[in-house]
Amino acid sequence: MKKNSMKADKFCYIQSSNESQNLCFNLQEGESLQLTFIVLGDVKVNNHIIINLDGENAACSLRGLWLINGDADVNFDVKMNHHVANCTSDQLFKGIANDRAKSNFFGLINVSTDAQKSDARQQCHNLLLSDDARAYAKPQLEIYADDVICTHGATVGRLNDDELFYMRSRGISLDEAKKIQLKVFAAAPLDFVTKDTASHLEDWINAISL
Amino acid sequence: MLKITNLHAKIGDKEILKGINLCVKAGEIHAIMGPNGAGKSTLAATLAGRDNLEVTSGSIIFQGEDILSLSPEERSWKGIFLGFQYPVDIPGLSNAAFMKAAINEHRQQQGLEPLSAASFLKMVKEKMAFVEMDSSFSSRAVNVGFSGGEKKRNEVFQMAMLDPRLAILDESDSGLDVDALRIVGTGVSKLHHPDNAAIVITHYQRLLDYIVPDFIHVLYKGRIIKTAGKELAMEIEERGYDWIINEEE
């Protein structure tokens, strides 16, 4: 494994108003990039993110968390382009939607013919807290190289009754058990943000779920 | 301590419990045995307040109070504990955080301050040792990747932490090897004292070598069809349930 002494960038976007992000990053050899998007509340957001892995051994991690309510309408359009060999990308997006909020995740991973030994991963998981909330997740892989690792997964679910009953049978109240489930669900995409940012998770969850 | 009278319960349209009568006094251990589908797990879930089943008639009086309208957490606060046949995995939540939330809600109900971090850790360490669990289990996610035996030991660990008045153990012996069976069996047995009681649901006599019951009840088609002393377990082990069922019919 080649040691990465090149540029490493880390950005976190917290979006709690109707402001979208249109971003394009081109990563050169050995560069790494970590992007985190946190979308909060009753907002309309259209994020377009294009990542071009242009130099070998470039690595990109994308994280997304949306905690939305009201009539929020959140769209993520992600294009991860593996143009050359030996690059890695991993994407983890999670969303919790309440009321009539809806989210759309569209994630394309494109691995071109020259991009052998690419490692590309993408996950998008959603929890719906109300009957009218909606989540759409559409992962798409276009792979033209033959020696690659590419995985993707998408789920849409609700709070787990068995977990809730298990917690309640130990004396954890229903509200608290729900909060624990939401916190546990939402924590994973916050692995690159500061402790200070992550410490707001509980408040953000309370703001959309109570 | 517990008085169940003519309890009927159904899941969906199917009546599972068809008139259960059971009286448990402090200091007693009751075993409930019976063939598959008799309603043993439904009875356990009904006592703990699972909401996917419906009690259609009868009553459950616990320490003088009808608990049928109480939520699962309220029953826990009053001292009812259910050891699950299939303990639930909770990915992302550590065993320690799980128990801390539970213990502190219990304390809040009793008007007590939350336990300090040091006292809590000490308690966890002590109770883990009690069920011969490595303390590394406290930082692992609840039941995630645990073997069958580890899950059941984790149930007894939680029971030791919460110190219930009435423990209902739903097939705590299923899926256990000999060592795990000994640990679970002696663990439950050591937690027993004159002020608490236990209902032990089991298929086999072997768990009852460790947890010696005062009464054994045979549940069949949603009713208790026979009650006897601990010697009944041995007889069931040898002869099965058919002779009891025939006697009844």
CB contact under 8 A, A184 and B90: yes
In angstroms, the CA A30 to CA A59 distance is 7
Question: Which pLDDT score is estimated for B123?
Answer: 96
CB contact under 8 A, B73 and A163: no
Nearest residue on chain A to B48, alpha-carbon basis? A169
Q: Report ipTM (2 d.p.).
A: 0.95
Query: Domain-by-domain residue ranges, chain B?
Result: 2-248
- Nearest partner of A23 among A58, A62, A59, judged by Cα: A62
Nearest residue on chain B to A162, alpha-carbon basis? B88
Averaged pLDDT of chain B: 94
Question: Which pLDDT score is estimated for A6?
Answer: 65
Q: How far is B140 from chain A (nearest CA, A)?
A: 13
Report in angstroms the alpha-carbon separations of B22 from A131, A145, B37, B62, B164: 41, 68, 19, 12, 19
Judged by a CB distance cut-off of 8 A, whether residue B51 touches chain A is yes
Task: State the Cα torsion A155-A161-A164-A170 to the nearest 10°.
Answer: -140
- Give percent of chain B above pLDDT 90: 82
Judged by a CB distance cut-off of 8 A, whether residue B137 touches chain A is no
CB nearest to A170's CB, from B49, B109, B158: B158
Judged by a CB distance cut-off of 8 A, whether residue A170 touches chain B is yes
Q: Which residue has the higher pLDDT, B9 or B245?
A: B9
Judged by a CB distance cut-off of 8 A, whether residue B228 touches chain A is no
Task: State the Cα torsion B167-B35-B205-B208 to the nearest 10°.
Answer: 10
Report in angstroms the alpha-carbon separations of A138 from A73, A77, B32: 16, 10, 50
Question: Which pLDDT score is estimated for B173?
Answer: 79
Contact by Cβ (8 Å): B167, B188: yes
CB contact under 8 A, B71 and A168: yes
Query: How do residues B18-73 score in pLDDT, each as one tens digit?
Result: 999 999 999 999 999 999 899 999 999 999 999 999 999 999 999 999 999 999 99
CB contact under 8 A, A171 and B92: no
- Nearest partner of A170 among B161, B111, B145, B196, judged by Cα: B161
**φ and ψ of A133, to 5 deg:** -75, 150
Question: Which pLDDT score is estimated for B32?
Answer: 96
Judged by a CB distance cut-off of 8 A, whether residue B71 touches chain A is yes
CB nearest to A171's CB, from B50, B88, B162: B162
Q: Which CATH class is domain B2-248?
A: alpha beta
Judged by a CB distance cut-off of 8 A, whether residue A143 touches chain B is no
In order along its 210 residues, chain A shows pLDDT tens digits of 444 456 889 999 999 999 999 999 999 999 999 999 999 999 999 999 999 999 999 999 999 999 999 999 999 999 999 999 999 999 999 999 999 999 999 999 999 999 999 999 999 999 999 999 999 999 999 999 999 999 999 999 999 999 999 999 999 999 999 999 999 999 999 999 999 999 999 999 999 986
Question: Which pLDDT score is estimated for A8?
Answer: 85
Contact by Cβ (8 Å): B236, B33: yes
In angstroms, the CA B45 to CA A39 distance is 40
Contacts of A166 in chain B (CB under 8 A): 84, 87-88, 90
Supply the DSSP string of B84-151, one letter for each residue: -SSPPPEEEEEHHHHHHHHHHHHHHHTTPPPPPHHHHHHHHHHHHHHTT--GGGGTSEETTT--HHHH
Contacts of A165 in chain B (CB under 8 A): 50-51, 72, 88
